[in-house]
Amino acid sequence: MPTSPAQAPTVPAHVLPHRTPAQLLVVARQGLTEAARTRPDGLRYAAAHLAALRAAAALLAARARPAPTRRNRITSVWILLASVAPELDEWATYFAAGASKRAAAEAGIPRVVTAREADDLLRAAEQFVTVVETALGLAHQPTLDGLHRPARLGGSDAAPGAAAA
């Protein structure tokens, strides 16, 4: 990893995110949660892929410095990631390969991905977000369900609307 801004790889200024790496990782985690709760396979696949994109953007925001260039070429975040973080090249290749399926799923094309493909991508995106968090020293602290909610006095600890056993 570069030790000074002068050594940081450059990327076109217009592709750098406008959020901090920490903010992007929070949004990535929210995307993973959304993907896990989404039942249509295509939408689950798309949400997981977008979460991975946000994690890649967090790494770009942290490690790259802007370079003035013209906007005449579209550059994939996965190509930029491979140049800024060569140690994540395999991840970049993996997610780049799924970009067209994500676009098709977002467009509403039915059966573009199977349930297994969606589940596999979700697991891979979860791993990738964790790898990026670790690389940036921003490890995720998962919340445990129930700890944020005080117990009700004289009542059940079941979630509101949950059926009693």
Q: pLDDT for 101-155, tens place per residue? A: 999 999 999 899 999 999 999 999 999 999 999 999 997 766 655 443 333 334 4
Residue 87 corresponds to which tokens in the numbers above?
């140690």
- Find tokens 């395999």 and name the residue: 90
Compute the distance between CA of residue 162 and CA of residue 165 in angstroms, rounded to an integer: 9
Q: pLDDT for 1-56, tens place per residue? A: 444 444 667 555 555 667 899 999 999 999 999 999 999 999 999 999 999 999 99
What residues contact 38, with CB distance under 8 A and at least 6 apart?
Answer: 44, 47
Q: pLDDT for 91-109, tens place per residue? A: 999 999 999 999 999 999 9
Contact 49, 95 (CB under 8 A): yes
Smallest Cα–Cα separation from 129: which of 119, 117, 138, 120? 138
Residue type, 56: A
